[in-house]
Amino acid sequence: MKQVLQSIAYRSVYAVTYAISLLPMTFLYAISSFTFLITYYIMGYRKTVVIQNITRSFPDKRYGEIHAIVKKFYACFVSYFAEIIKSVSASEETLNNKIIFENLELINQFINSGRSVIACLGHCGNWEMLNFLPYKIRHEVYAVYKPLSSATFNRLMVKVRSRFGMKLIPDRAIIRHIISKKSSPAVYLFIADQCPHINEEKYRFTLLNQETYVFSGMEKLARTGRTAVIYLHITQLSKGCYKVVCLPVCSKAESTSDGEITKKYINLLTENINEEPYGWLWTHKRWKR
């Protein structure tokens, strides 16, 4: 009975989401603008966290500059949701014009040489638009994710993210999967800028002027799986349009020293954030430990 109710709930939520996605983008952006007013001016959703994070990350910036970044962050943040909803029904042609990929040859080069690729990234820009990546390359693309506690919304998330061929793998199953798939190279998307549960001294670096413990799983997985590693640099060209550039991190993870991959990742992430300070997920309590 529980499964039947969950199925009904999922179908209902998906039907509503799909129906909303059919609305013109201008209307969805209008809704997001209204949401911005509520989120920024009335509710102040995690505003203290955002201001604190940005102030500590950019100690040389003046109050006016910090305020401008904070405000633009919230404006972009609510717009991302409108774009994600639209992607539920948007055509391939539409999304192909909205998301520009550069240097995908790097991925092809590694895959053709028999190596899987870990494509690491941060919560920059509208990272959910990377669900479109499988449409652009002929290789299998997997995304590592943490299942949601709600079965209904977890199923909805999987449905939306897998629309163009993305395959989702729970974080606890990824090591076994990569090792078992050595004979079939693929691309694995890995967001690695979360706050880790375990603090390891050799994975402590300086990120945005702050001592930061970094999630070590991405590097350890790359070395165990003997993969290549690239970084996906995401920037916003204009409202709703993004550019994703593939940048090399290493060609043979097993040949790197402890912390080397993570250090390069942190450097590239820092460059990404500095290029568009408003684009990172500042509501995340990155330095809570």
Out of 65-74, 139-148, 263-272, pick the least confident: 139-148
Average pLDDT over residues 134-144: 93
pLDDT at 139: 92
**Dihedral (Cα; 256, 259, 261, 266), 10-degree rounding:** -160
Q: How much is the pLDDT for 183? A: 67
Region of residue 250 (phi > 0: left; psi between -120 and 50: alpha; otherwise: beta): beta
* 110-124, 156-170, 189-203, 269-283: segment of lowest average pLDDT: 189-203
* DSSP state at residue 196: P
Spatial distance between the Cα atoms of 150 and 217, rounded to a whole number of angstroms: 25
pLDDT value for 182: 67
Residue ranges with strand state E in 53-174: 99-102, 117-121, 141-145, 167-170
Lowest-confidence segment of 174-178, 179-183, 201-205 by average pLDDT: 179-183
pLDDT at 181 over 80: no
Q: Which of these, 201, 208, 213, 195, lies nearest to 52 by C-alpha position?
A: 208
Cα(30)–Cα(140) distance, integer angstroms = 36
Q: Which long-range contacts (CB under 8 A, 24 or more apart) does 31-38 make?
A: 31/82, 32/78, 32/79, 32/81, 32/82, 33/78, 35/78, 35/81, 36/74, 36/75, 36/78
202 pLDDT band (50/70/90 cuts)?
Answer: confident
Please give the Cα distance from 144 to 173 (Å, whole number). 9
Record the pTM: 0.94
Q: Hey, how many other C-beta atoms are within 10 angstroms of the C-beta on 114?
A: 11
Q: How confident is the model at residue 172 (pLDDT cuts 50, 70, 90)?
A: confident
Residue 51, both tokens: 């201001």
How far apart are the C-alpha atoms of 95 and 49, rounded to whole Å?
33
Q: What pLDDT shows up at residue 289?
A: 66
3-state secondary structure of 190: strand
Q: Half-sphere exposure of 67 toward its Cβ, with a 13 Å CA cutoff?
A: 4
